[in-house]
Amino acid sequence: MKSMKKISIWIGLSILMMILWGGGLMIGNLVFPSSLMEMETDSNAAAGFIFFLVSALNAGIILQLIYKARYRGWELAGYVFLVSFGIQYFMSQIETVWFNDSLGLPGNGIAAIVLGGACTLAAFSVIATWITGKFKSKPDKSDDGVPHKFSIKRILFLSAVIWPLIYFAFGYFVAWQFEDVRLLYSGTTEMDSFVEIMKGNFQSGLYLFQILRGFLWILIGILVLKMARGNKISNGVLLGLLFTILGSSGLLLPNPIMPEMVRIAHLIETSTSDFIWGFIIVWTLWRPVAGTEVENN
pLDDT digits (tens, 9 = 90+) for 235-289: 999 999 999 999 999 999 888 788 899 999 999 999 999 999 999 999 999 877 6
Q: What pLDDT is stored for residue 146 in this prediction?
A: 57
**In this model, does residue 44 exceed pLDDT 50?**
yes
> Backbone phi, then psi, for 239, in 5-degree steps?
-65, -40
Burial classification of residue 180, based on how many CB atoms lie within 10 Å of its CB (0-12 exposed, 13-18 middle, 19 or more buried): middle
292 pLDDT more than 80: no
What integer best gives the mean pLDDT of the chain?
90
Q: Is the confidence at residue 290, as pLDDT, over 70?
A: no
Q: Say what the pLDDT of residue 34 is.
A: 80
Report pLDDT for 256: 77
Instruction: Please state, as a whole number, how many other Cβ atoms lie within 10 Å of the Cβ of residue 283.
Output: 13
* Predicted local distance difference test score (pLDDT) of residue 295: 43
Q: How far apart are CA 111 and CA 19, in angstroms?
A: 20
pLDDT of residue 29: 92
Burial profile 209-239: b = 16 or more Cβ within 10 angstroms, e = fewer: ebbebbebbbebbbbbbbbbbbbbebbbbbb
Q: Amino acid identity, residue 113?
A: I
Sign of CA pseudo-dihedral 68, 211, 90, 56: negative
228 strand-pairing partners = 69
Grouping H, G, I as helix, E, B as strand and the rest as coil, residue 106 is: coil
Q: Does position 296 have pLDDT exceeding 50, yes or no?
A: no
For position 147, what pLDDT does the model report?
60
Query: How sure is the predictor about 294, in pLDDT bands with cuts at 50, 70 and 90?
Result: very low
In the chain, domain spans: 1-139, 142-297
Rounded distance, CA 237 to CA 207, Å?
27
The DSSP output letter for 144 is: -
Band of residue 116 on the pLDDT scale cut at 50, 70, 90:
very high
96-100, 120-124, 238-242: lowest mean pLDDT where? 96-100
pLDDT digits (tens, 9 = 90+) for 133-178: 998 766 554 454 556 678 899 999 999 999 999 999 999 999 999 9
Specify whether the CB–CB gap between 212 and 218 falls below 8 A.
Answer: no
DSSP state of 291: T
Instruction: Inform me whether the pLDDT recorded for 41 exceeds 70.
Output: no
Q: Are 267 and 254 in contact (CB under 8 A)?
A: no
Q: Is the pLDDT of residue 233 over 50?
A: yes
**Cα–Cα dist 258/84, whole Å:** 23
pTM: 0.92
Q: In whole angstroms, give the CA distance from residue 268 to residue 285.
A: 26
Backbone angles phi, psi at 148, to 5 degrees: -120, 150
Q: Which residue has the higher pLDDT, 151 or 124?
A: 124
Whether pLDDT at 37 is above 80: no
Of 138 and 109, more confident: 109
The Cα 76–Cα 69 span in angstroms is 7
d(CA 75, CA 90): 20
**Coil vs helix vs strand at 170:** helix
**Quick one: what percent of the chain has pLDDT higher than 70?**
90
Average pLDDT over residues 203-222: 97
Percent share of the chain, pLDDT over 90: 76
- Alpha helices for the chain (secondary structure H): 2-31, 45-68, 73-85, 91-98, 100-103, 107-131, 152-157, 163-173, 179-186, 194-204, 206-227, 232-248, 260-285
